[in-house]
């Protein structure tokens, strides 16, 4: 597998001076790659700053065309769409661009970005651009708390936001969670603090972010296809700790995150603070007799702890990974100066998002759980560990990961497996090796043929809604035949969704709808 191409460092004196909103951005020649959410926000912002912008994207979908029309209307932006538009770096006014601002999903070895590297054109992500624009005359400068990890990012950033707001602060969750940081920066609200969710892709393209506190929740093999190797993936995740000002929060139960902190170049005086779902040592947060406690941000930490909340405050089902996420969020806000009472209030106020261990139905003694957001083995493991006697719906786009450890660890929980996905052969092989006695229901021949037929059109239009709903309806019907009272039917695919669905949310919604129809159909039959 090709290793990622090195990102060229900023060497232009002009780029080095661009550190505030009020710097001289006028006339700067910028290519923005991608016309999706983050790319549109970057282009729109740069147009407002007076830069000369060209936006490129391979997409020619109606949505991309509409976005292009909007950018042309709001300012002086050229938009180039189609495969040819992303094969080389376009000139701007006949000259080489000063900068490329890339959307996070674009791989470093993509043709245009690789050409930019060879031409020594600096590449920033939208996060790097946002960091350089955060200071603006007449506006409050929001502090940043940054969060990454293979799993749990969105939950933790939501908990962090809720705790900050419970403390009376103007706070917002931004970044990979859905709201672009650039949009929040342009919001007329003067925010005190941003809770920033950062993917490994966004971290790869960031260079100078300096948060007040930062955390890497956990790491496991993921996105190897994008990064080129697991080592490169870890290196990008570790960038979350660079330049941290007050506290680097790490997972005390995973040595990799502690080593990241040890190797990070931080601001003088920055502390290392661990979190654990076990009894905490000094300078850690952890759990004692069902209580979440702090032994890091109190003066008497050598021989006592501050009570923050109870595990019961997390709801009736509090899996271990949810406790860990809550502790990580608590550590971030405690580093920022939030009082213990606000931590508990934030936990109680927090409303979990859909598609993450979401109870869909309890019918005839069977629990139906939607964890479509479990897009890799590490996330699926956390989900499986919360249940016993599981009929597991799994499979999809594997992203080059290995399933052996997942199956070895959780084979004893599996009653049966229902496979979805255009090609779940890697998962199926792991099941044969490590859970040979567990019944496995694979996709039918018709499903596979439909996927192959739809595959050519998918790049342009995505999977058809009718096809996607059929895939999930058949999986739910198979699971219903296998499950009995006391069992849990768990959608935790351990894979990405784009081979058969438009997103993990689409996959989860299809599951919810299929379960609803199943339950209503069975109820109607029993009445008759």
**What are the tens digits of pLDDT across the range 7-37?**
445 468 899 999 999 999 999 999 999 999 8
Q: Does 45 appear as a known binding residue? A: no
Mean pLDDT of 221-248: 86
Res 450: pLDDT: 40
Q: Which fold has domain 13-128?
A: Rossmann fold (3.40.50)
Rounded Cα–Cα distance for residues 219 and 150 (Å): 5
Rounded Cα–Cα distance for residues 447 and 474 (Å): 9
Q: Which fold has domain 358-527?
A: 3.90.190
Res 422: pLDDT: 87
Rounded Cα–Cα distance for residues 161 and 171 (Å): 6
Q: Of the CATH numbers 3.40.1190.10, 3.30.1330.60, 3.40.50.720, 3.30.70.100, which one belongs to the domain with range 140-349?
A: 3.40.1190.10
Q: Does 154 appear as a known binding residue? A: yes
3-class SS at 80?
A: strand
Among 120-129, 177-186, 438-447, the range of highest mean pLDDT:
120-129
Mean pLDDT of 249-267: 97
Range of weakest confidence among 88-102, 281-295, 395-409, 480-494: 395-409
Res 445: pLDDT: 43
Q: Does 149 appear as a known binding residue? A: yes
Q: Does 150 appear as a known binding residue? A: yes
Res 224: pLDDT: 65
Q: Does 444 appear as a known binding residue? A: no
Between 315 and 52, residue with greater pLDDT: 52
Res 319: pLDDT: 79
Res 4: pLDDT: 45
Bridge partners for 32 per DSSP: 55, 101
Q: Does 146 appear as a known binding residue? A: no
Rounded Cα–Cα distance for residues 359 and 355 (Å): 9
Q: Which residues contact 526 (CB under 8 A, 6 or more apart)?
A: none
How long a stretch of residues is the chain?
528
Between 160 and 3, residue with greater pLDDT: 160
Q: Which residues contact 39 (CB under 8 A, 6 or more apart)?
A: 32, 33, 55, 57, 103, 126
Res 452: pLDDT: 36
Structure tokens at 375: 């897009």
Res 523: pLDDT: 53
Among 59-68, 239-248, 385-394, 461-470, the range of highest mean pLDDT:
239-248
For the chain, helix, strand, coil in percent to 5 are 40, 20, 40
Mean pLDDT of 463-478: 81
Res 321: pLDDT: 86
pLDDT tens readout for residues 406-420: 999 999 999 999 999
- Residue ranges per structural domain of the chain: 13-128, 140-349, 358-527
Mean pLDDT of 76-85: 90
């Amino acid at each position: 597998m090709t290793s990622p191409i090195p990102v060229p460092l900023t060497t232009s004196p002009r780029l080095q001076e661009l550190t505030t909103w009020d710097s001289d951005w006028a006339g700067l020649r910028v290519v923005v790659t991608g016309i999706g959410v983050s790319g549109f926000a970057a282009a729109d912002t740069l147009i407002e700053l007076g830069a000369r912008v060209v936006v490129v994207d391979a997409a020619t979908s109606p949505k991309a065309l509409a976005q292009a029309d909007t950018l042309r209307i709001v300012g002086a932006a050229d938009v180039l769409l189609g495969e040819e538009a992303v094969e080389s770096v376009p000139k701007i006014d006949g000259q080489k661009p000063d900068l490329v601002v890339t959307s996070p999903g674009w791989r470093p070895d993509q043709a245009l970005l690789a050409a930019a590297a060879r031409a020594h054109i600096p590449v920033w992500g939208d996060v790097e651009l946002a960091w350089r624009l955060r200071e603006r005359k007449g506006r409050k400068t929001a502090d940043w708390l940054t969060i990454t990890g293979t799993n749990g990012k969105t939950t933790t950033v939501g908990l962090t936001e809720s705790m900050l707001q419970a403390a009376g602060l103007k706070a917002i969750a931004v970044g990979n969670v859905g709201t672009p940081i650039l949009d929040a920066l342009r919001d007329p609200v003067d925010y005190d603090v941003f809770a920033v969710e950062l993917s490994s892709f966004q971290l790869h393209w960031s260079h100078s972010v300096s948060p007040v506190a930062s955390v890497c929740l956990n790491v496991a093999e993921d996105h190897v296809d994008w990064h080129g190797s697991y080592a490169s993936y870890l290196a990008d995740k570790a960038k979350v700790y660079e330049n941290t000002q007050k506290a680097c929060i790490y997972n005390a139960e995973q040595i990799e995150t502690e080593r990241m902190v040890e190797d990070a170049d931080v601001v003088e005086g920055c502390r290392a603070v661990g979190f654990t779902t076990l009894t905490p040592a000094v300078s850690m947060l952890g759990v004692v007799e069902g209580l979440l406690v702090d032994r890091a941000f109190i003066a008497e930490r050598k021989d006592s702890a501050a009570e923050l909340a109870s595990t019961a405050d997390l709801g009736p089902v509090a899996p271990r990974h949810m406790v860990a996420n809550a502790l990580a969020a608590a550590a971030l806000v405690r580093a920022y100066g939030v009082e213990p009472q606000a931590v508990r209030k934030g936990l109680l106020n927090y409303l979990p998002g859909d598609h993450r261990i979401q109870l869909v139905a309890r019918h005839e003694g069977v629990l139906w759980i939607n964890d479509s957001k479990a897009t890799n083995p590490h996330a699926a493991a956390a989900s499986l560990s919360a249940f016993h006697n599981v009929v597991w719906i799994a499979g999809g786009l594997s992203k080059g990961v290995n399933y052996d450890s997942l199956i070895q660890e959780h084979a004893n929980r599996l009653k049966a497996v229902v496979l979805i996905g255009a090609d779940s052969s890697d998962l199926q092989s792991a099941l044969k090796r490590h859970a040979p006695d567990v019944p496995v229901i694979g996709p039918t021949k018709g499903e596979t043929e439909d996927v192959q037929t739809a595959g050519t059109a998918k790049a342009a239009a995505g999977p058809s809604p009718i096809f996607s709903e059929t895939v999930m309806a058949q999986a739910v019907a198979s699971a219903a035949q296998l499950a009995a009272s006391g069992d849990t039917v768990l959608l935790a695919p351990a894979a990405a969704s784009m081979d058969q669905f438009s997103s993990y949310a689409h996959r989860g919604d299809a599951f919810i709808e299929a379960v609803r129809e199943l339950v209503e159909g069975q109820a109607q039959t029993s009445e008759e």
